[in-house]
Amino acid sequence: MRARVHVTLKPGVLDPQGAAVLHALGSLGFDDVDGVRVGKVIELELSDTDPEAARARVDAMCRALLANTVIENYDVEIA
Amino acid sequence: MTLRAGVIVFPGSNCDRDMAVALRAAGADVTMVWHKDASLPAGLDLVAVPGGFSFGDYLRCGAIAARAPILRAVVDFARAGGHVLGVCNGFQVLIEAGLLPGALMRNARLKFICAPVGLEIATTDSPFTRDYAPGEAIVLPVAHHDGNYHADADTLAALEAEDRVAFRYARDINGSMNEIAGILSANRRVLGMMPHPERAVDPVHGGIGGKRLFAGIAAALENAAVQGA
């Protein structure tokens, strides 16, 4: 079973990388972009076979390590 | 009583020996402590978490180091009233370990900043800053990519109300809220700071702005030991 975790900055937290990417897109002529936020995708190979149990484990992993909940939100997909 | 200090060493630490030199210059007896150790040497007065790039800054700066076996012991030491100093990557580690509030994000203008910077002593009410004058201007080197201090509004208000900002940048260098360069724990015994006091303790370093931090903590803990005896 595979899990995919999306880690994104919370709304309102300044994202200097997003601002730099927005600026670079503008300089390439993509001037129709109003905002860019840069996040991370983490893929996990799990030995769990029960989707609910897997989701609970990955949620615990996010809170313990994968995301910094002071500044980041996370979202878990189980496949 | 001689100050007994432990300096934590992670793969990727690169200021650990500088920290040991600065502590020894202040009279401390220093033991280096490997990150895989599950306990601290007995009888330490101070634990220093040094700068560097622990675990390659993977995931987030300090995130992996904060989950190393020795950090559980450092957290227990701090919660029992022990003194802890985290510098640069060490500050990032202490925040990731939950000993200090907030987060250290990528510098606002994305550049790695390596320069001597002006700082203001924001409080002298701590064993680390007691030998400075309130509001005194000092210069310490910084060398970081992720020193942009961020906290939610309530946390920031509490830090200010409780006089827990130890150092502020004289001018904005990295986007840090309220120009915060270093903060104290609620019991004022844990200090995390991005500038490097250990790189400014000898005239050959180009300045001695950090020397009184080490002298202060050594004197404070020696006094505490005398009073406790």
Give tens-digit pLDDT for B75-126: 999 999 999 999 999 999 999 999 999 999 999 988 999 999 999 999 999 9
Q: What is the DSSP string of B119-175?
A: EEE----STTTTTSPTT-EEEEEEEES--EEE--HHHHHHHHHTT-EEEEESS-SS-
Contact list, A20 vs chain B (CB under 8 Å)? 110
Give the closest-approach CA distance of B118 to chain A in angstroms: 24
Q: Is B145 on the interface with A (CB under 8 A)?
A: no
Note the pLDDT of residue A14: 85
**What share of chain B in percent tops pLDDT 70?**
99
Q: Is B173 on the interface with A (CB under 8 A)?
A: no
Active-site residue, B88 included: yes
Categorize the per-residue pLDDT at B48 as very low, low, confident or very high, splitting at 50, 70 and 90.
Answer: very high
Note the pLDDT of residue B228: 61
The overall average pLDDT reported for chain A is: 94
CB contact under 8 A, A70 and B151: yes
Candidate from A48-52, A64-68, B35-39, B221-225 with smallest mean pLDDT? B221-225
The shortest CB-CB distance from A17 to any of B67, B106, B150 is to B106
Contact predicate A15/A37, CB 8 Å: yes
What domains sit in chain A, N to C, each tagged with a CATH number?
A: 2-78 (3.30.1280.10)
What domains sit in chain B, N to C, each tagged with a CATH number?
A: 4-228 (3.40.50.880)
Active-site residue, B114 included: no
Note the pLDDT of residue B224: 78
- Residues B25-43 as b/e (b if ≥16 CB within 10 A, e otherwise) read ebebebeebebeeeebeee
The overall average pLDDT reported for chain B is: 95
Note the pLDDT of residue B226: 72
